[in-house]
Amino acid sequence: MNPLPLAVEIVVAVLLVVGSAFALISAVALVKFDDFLKRLHGPSKVGTVGVGGVLLAALIYFAATGATSLHEILIVALVFLTAPVSAHLLVKAAQKLDPSLRRAPPPPGNDRKPQ
């Protein structure tokens, strides 16, 4: 097996570390937050970026070794499509079960004191 160029190794290593850090942040957010909606935000947003970074590192590694396949591209596409949709459906189901979650944000401009 031929060794990879140093630049490819560095890019793969950085993507693995960054993706793993995002996945760790996602797991900590899932445990740390107390509200369902806050808990859902971490894995749906940050976890998707973490998985995307790791899969992008795998894609670059296998492309550099000559063993390219569509598996990584398909996984990234499916994760990026399904994670936001499933999070949206979970929020809609939670709002249907608990109508108090439907609180509307205050209208803009009401945070100023009258003069």
What are the residue boundaries of the structural domains of the chain, listed by start?
6-98
Task: Indicate if the pLDDT at residue 87 is higher than 70.
Answer: yes
pTM, entire model: 0.73
Whether residue 20 is predicted with pLDDT greater than 90 in this model: the reply is yes
Q: What pLDDT does residue 79 have? A: 85
Give CA–CA dist 31/25, Å, rounded: 10
Tokens 């693995």, located at residue: 16
Those residues whose C-beta lies under 8 Å from the C-beta of residue 35, and which sit 6 or more positions away, are none
Report the pLDDT averaged over residues 92-106: 79
CA distance 42 to 31: 10
Helix (H, G, I), strand (E, B) or coil at 2: coil
Planar angle of CA 53, 39, 17, nearest 5 degrees: 20
The answer on pLDDT for 33 being more than 70 is: yes
